[in-house]
């Protein structure tokens, strides 16, 4: 049995995307392929799926500063299909493992740089924002501004609240909002969200609208949440629409048959 080695995601990404993109050198049919039969569609779907799914990996590799020789990738791809590979399996395995490590090392270095920059930028933003008229800072470092006063009760951490909100990074990028989820208010127990929310919303009365600036340590800290990069200071505009006290939320539903 021939030795088997696992091709890394990075290597497969480079291979698949380059193979899909490079055919223009050999034939103009790249954009006019024949897709009349099931067999043609099956073959095309395999290639297209690999190219689309893996496109981000080759882009990341190039952005990390790791050079990609597309001509050699295509040569290796063709020789692999033809069974004429010029390197031994164990040698390629070591090379691909080294490539994986190189990419992971650079990814971690970049993530650390981004995280440190976000923390520094956030601290600078907080320093500037705290001096603006109407902005108050709590002992924890949470900053808030009253956009609209409320007249109702204030929630406790154990209560369930109904709110509308918009969340942004300090550069103004909106990463979430109730509008993005159909515009309907959302309800949740106040003690099950980030600390900045738990603390801040307890300051509000029903009907109030506040603007919060939440330091990273009161948000997601050094965790990368995708749309929220690690160590991000967050801005939320929150409108408190209602409160369900914890005792009421825990009551069993009434039996309609009685």
Residue 137 has pLDDT above 80, yes or no: yes
- Per-residue pLDDT, 251: 60
Q: Which phi and psi (to 5°) does residue 159 adopt?
A: -75, 160
Helices 38-63 & 9-22 angle (0-180, nearest 10): 120
CATH topology of domain 130-249: Chitinase A; domain 3 (3.10.50)
**pLDDT band per the 50, 70, 90 thresholds, residue 27:** very low
Higher pLDDT: 75 or 141? It is: 141
Residue 178 has pLDDT above 80, yes or no: yes
Please list the residue range(s) of the chain that carry CATH number 3.10.50.40.
130-249
Residue 222 has pLDDT above 80, yes or no: yes
Residue 13 has pLDDT above 50, yes or no: no
Look at residues 134, 168, 169, 157 and name the one whose alpha carbon lies nearest to residue 204: 157
**pLDDT band per the 50, 70, 90 thresholds, residue 81:** confident
- Per-residue pLDDT, 179: 95
Average pLDDT of the chain, as a whole number? 85
Mean local confidence (pLDDT), 110-124: 95
pTM: 0.71
Residue 29 has pLDDT above 50, yes or no: no
Residue 73 has pLDDT above 80, yes or no: no
Mean local confidence (pLDDT), 103-110: 91
Do 136 and 144 meet the contact criterion of CB atoms below 8 Å apart? Answer: yes
> What count of other Cβ atoms lies within 10 Å of the Cβ of residue 45?
11
Q: Percentage of residues in the chain with pLDDT exceeding 90? A: 62
Q: Is 194 helix (H, G, I), strand (E, B) or coil?
A: coil
Cα–Cα distances (Å) from 55 to 6, 68, 69, 98, 202, in that order, read: 19, 13, 16, 21, 45
Q: What is the pLDDT of residues 148-159, one digit of tens each?
A: 999 988 999 999
What does the H/E/C string look like for the chain?
CCCCCCCCHHHHHHHHHHHHHHHHHCCHHHHCCCCCCHHHHHHHHHHHHHHHHHHHHHHHHHHCCCCCCHHHHHHHHHHHHHCCCCCCHHHHHHHHHHHHHHHHHHHHHHHHHHHHHHHHHHHHHHHHHCCCCCEEECCCCCEEEEEECCCCCCCCCCCEEEEEEEEEECCCCEEEECHHHCCCCEEEEHHHCCHHHHHHHCCCCCCCEEEEEECHHHCCCCCCCCCCCCCCCEEEEEEEEEEECHHHHCCCCCCCCC
């Amino acid at each position: 049995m021939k030795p088997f080695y696992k091709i890394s995601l990075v290597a497969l990404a480079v291979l698949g995307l380059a193979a899909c993109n490079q055919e223009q050198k050999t034939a103009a049919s790249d954009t006019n392929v024949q897709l009349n039969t099931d067999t043609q569609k099956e073959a095309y779907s395999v290639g297209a799926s690999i190219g689309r799914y893996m496109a981000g990996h080759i882009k990341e590799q190039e952005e990390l500063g790791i050079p990609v020789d597309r001509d050699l990738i295509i040569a290796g791809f063709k020789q692999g299909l033809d069974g004429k590979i010029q390197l031994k399996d164990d040698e390629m395995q070591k090379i691909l493992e080294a490539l994986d490590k190189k990419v992971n090392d650079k990814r971690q270095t970049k993530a650390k740089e981004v995280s440190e920059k976000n923390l520094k930028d956030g601290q600078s933003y907080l320093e500037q924002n705290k001096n603006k008229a109407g902005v108050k800072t709590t002992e924890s470092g949470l900053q808030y501004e009253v956009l609209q006063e409320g007249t109702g009760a204030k929630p406790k951490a154990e209560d369930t609240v109904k709110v509308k909100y918009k969340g942004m990074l300090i550069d103004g990028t909106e990463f979430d909002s109730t509008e993005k989820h159909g515009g309907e208010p959302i309800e949740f127990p106040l003690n099950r969200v980030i600390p900045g929310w738990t603390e801040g919303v307890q300051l509000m009365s029903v009907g109030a609208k506040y603007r919060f600036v939440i330091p990273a340590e009161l948000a997601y800290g050094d965790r990368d949440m995708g749309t929220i990069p690690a160590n991000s200071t967050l801005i939320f505009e929150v409108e408190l629409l209602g409160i369900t006290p914890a005792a009421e939320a825990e009551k069993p539903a009434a039996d309609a048959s009685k």
